[in-house]
Amino acid sequence: MAWSPKFTQHALCKRIPTWPYADPKDRHVVSYDEYVKTGGYEGLRKALTMKPGDVTEAVKKSMLRGRGGAGFPTGLKWTFLPKLDEGQDDLSKRGPRYLAINADESEPGTFKDRLLMDFDPHLVLEGIAICCYACRLDKAFIFIRGEYHHQAHVLEKAIAEAYDNGIFGPKGLINSNANTGGAKFTVDCYVHRGAGAYICGEETALLEGLEGKRGWPRIKPPFPAVEGLFGKPTIINNVETLAHLPSIVENGPEWFMAQGVESTVGGPPSYGTKLMGVSGHVNRPGVYEFELGIPLRTLIEDYCGGIRGGKKYKAAIPGGVSMGILGTDQYEAELDFDIGRKYNVLGLGTACPTVFDEDTDMVAVARNISRFFKHESCGQCTPCREGSGWLYQLMTRIEEGHAKTKDLDMALEIATSMGSMPGTTICGLADGNNWALRTIMNKFRDEFETRVSPSHVAVKMTIGAAAHG
């Protein structure tokens, strides 16, 4: 059955020219004026006419799931915040509450948030303002990775424009409104630059980074919604998740739910569109926006111009290396939140497929991925710190041809014991390492086996008199 989009308009890429509806060559930074002219900040204006609780309800009803990788329902996450009593809108009568925006996009293969920050920063800022209004958050910190110098500048400039135009600051949120019960409610928004640590993309490590400490993930509970940044209630959302909010509020949750697909395995649905950054051996790599549920084959063959050099598809990582790998026979996999249960990978992740052609050496892929995890393990939990190093050594040994068959089983055992066993590590980094290597080794076992020598070698020996005879 051929897949076709239900909507022929982009929601997130409305102002960012993107295939197949516009030419990416025309991309430029959307300024505040241009953003407003093209219907920008209408979502925020509409949200401000609603009660904060109603905005949260709308987002909850839309079943928007977090776009940062885990797919946790955003509206549900917001309801974990402690309830505010009547009249507590005024900051002076309570402690501050924070929003931390996860723009620490560092997973290999993932480059989708960058598109929004590069070209349409106000879409993100509008999402931030809506989230802060709905959840009554006073300060928003955009934690952006240190390597994104250009994006940090673009955001800083956009934030300055937003301060000038009544979004943030004392004269902000379009000059306040009636729904705060007359109390003054303002939002401040800042850019905070990370300094080159993948682990800071983990939500509690991100908070540690914001607090100026080592990016070591915290043990949960307490969850950040209760005790987060500086020990205060904090919501952490991905850039793309927040960018979805303006259109959801403006068009209503039903509009959002009309896109995407229902779950076919009894899980929560995958509604809405998703930015999909395709990389690797395809003719036209880049970021696309499609409804969830698009089959990988359709995405690659119909929209990305097929595999480079007319070669055949071999494998793809669905969304960031920690998600595992889709095998050669899983080319038809639908990119939605069911993918984990249907195709034996960890999950959809960021839905940014990295595609490999038939000539790719999967052992080299495994070695590259294990090197990444070894390099980025924060070192807090022993199974991850040591295990990732051992796995890298094993993968290098296999690639160089010095390994034995038993090393394959040892690698699988290490991966499983550091990742799959519950409670071994604080965060999910070891889990990602485990899934990545285990799925590659299981789905391409024959490639690994041809690179190793047998563990058991029969030696012919002659013992006794005949040996000396």
Partner 1 sequence: MAWIPKPSASMKIERRDEPYLTQAMKDELSQRYLPRFETTLAALLPALHMIQHEYHWVPPQAMEEIAEFLGLSPADVLDTATFYEEYALAPRGRHVVGVCRSIACEFCGQPQVTQAIKDTLGIDVGETTADGKVCLVELECLGSCGTAPAALIDEELHEQLTPQRAAELVRQVRSQDAPPPASGREGLAPETASNAPKGASKSAPKSAH
- Taking CB under 8 A as the binding criterion, the range among 165-173, 253-261, 377-385, 407-415 that sits at the site for partner 1 is 377-385
- Taking CB under 8 A as the binding criterion, the range among 45-53, 83-91, 349-357, 404-412 that sits at the site for partner 1 is 349-357
Q: Considering only residues 39, 181, 182, 196, which one is a binding residue for partner 1 as defined by CB under 8 A?
A: 196
Neighbours of 389 (CB within 10 A): 16
Closest to partner 1 by CB, 355 vs 452, is: 355
- Taking CB under 8 A as the binding criterion, the range among 186-194, 252-260, 415-423, 455-463 that sits at the site for partner 1 is 186-194
Residues 6+ apart with CB under 8 A from 393: none
What's the CA gap between 307 and 459, in Å, rounded? 47
Burial class (CB within 10 angstroms; exposed 0-12, middle 13-18, buried 19+) of 3 = middle
Q: Least separation, in Å, of the C-beta of 229 and partner 1?
A: 8
* Interface with partner 1, residue 427, by CB under 8 A: no
Q: Which two tokens stand for residue 129?
A: 């303002």
Closest to partner 1 by CB, 59 vs 167, is: 167
| CA distance to 41, 247, 260, 317, per residue, from 272 (Å) | 20, 11, 5, 21
Closest to partner 1 by CB, 41 vs 216, is: 216
What's the CA gap between 205 and 199, in Å, rounded? 6
Closest to partner 1 by CB, 40 vs 224, is: 224
Q: Residue type for 70, please?
A: A
What's the CA gap between 84 and 136, in Å, rounded? 8
Closest to partner 1 by CB, 73 vs 286, is: 286
Closest to partner 1 by CB, 192 vs 397, is: 192
* Interface with partner 1, residue 278, by CB under 8 A: yes
Closest to partner 1 by CB, 134 vs 378, is: 378
- Taking CB under 8 A as the binding criterion, the range among 56-64, 142-150, 263-271, 461-469 that sits at the site for partner 1 is 142-150
Closest to partner 1 by CB, 285 vs 295, is: 285
Spacing of C-alpha 212 from chain mean position: 23
433 closest CA partner among 411, 400, 406: 411
**Angle at alpha carbon of residue 299, lines to 298 and 302, rounded to 5°:** 60
- Taking CB under 8 A as the binding criterion, the range among 9-17, 138-146, 401-409, 442-450 that sits at the site for partner 1 is 138-146
Q: Residue type for 94, please?
A: R
Q: Considering only residues 3, 19, 190, 255, which one is a binding residue for partner 1 as defined by CB under 8 A?
A: 190
* Interface with partner 1, residue 377, by CB under 8 A: yes
What's the CA gap between 426 and 314, in Å, rounded? 34
* Interface with partner 1, residue 317, by CB under 8 A: yes
| CA distance to 66, 270, 271, 316, per residue, from 260 (Å) | 14, 6, 4, 22
Q: Considering only residues 69, 246, 285, 428, which one is a binding residue for partner 1 as defined by CB under 8 A?
A: 285
Q: Least separation, in Å, of the C-beta of 114 and partner 1?
A: 5
Yes or no: say if 111 and 287 are a contact pair by the CB < 8 Å rule: yes
- In degrees rounded to 5, what are phi and psi of residue 400? -80, -10
Q: Least separation, in Å, of the C-beta of 90 and partner 1?
A: 18
Which H or E run includes 53? helix 52-62
352 closest CA partner among 307, 319, 393, 321: 319
Residues near partner 1 (CB under 8 A), total: 67
Closest to partner 1 by CB, 250 vs 431, is: 431
Residues 108-127 that bind partner 1 (CB under 8 A): 108-111, 114
Which H or E run includes 189? strand 188-193
* Interface with partner 1, residue 363, by CB under 8 A: no
Yes or no: say if 322 and 436 are a contact pair by the CB < 8 Å rule: yes
* Interface with partner 1, residue 150, by CB under 8 A: yes
Closest to partner 1 by CB, 106 vs 179, is: 106
Q: Which two tokens stand for residue 313?
A: 């598809």
Yes or no: say if 107 and 322 are a contact pair by the CB < 8 Å rule: yes
Q: Least separation, in Å, of the C-beta of 287 and partner 1?
A: 6
Judged by the rule CB under 8 A, the positions of this chain that interact with partner 1 are: 96, 105-111, 114, 139, 141, 145-150, 152-153, 156, 188, 190-199, 209-215, 230, 232, 277-281, 285-287, 317, 321, 352, 354, 356, 360, 364-365, 368-369, 371-372, 375-380, 385
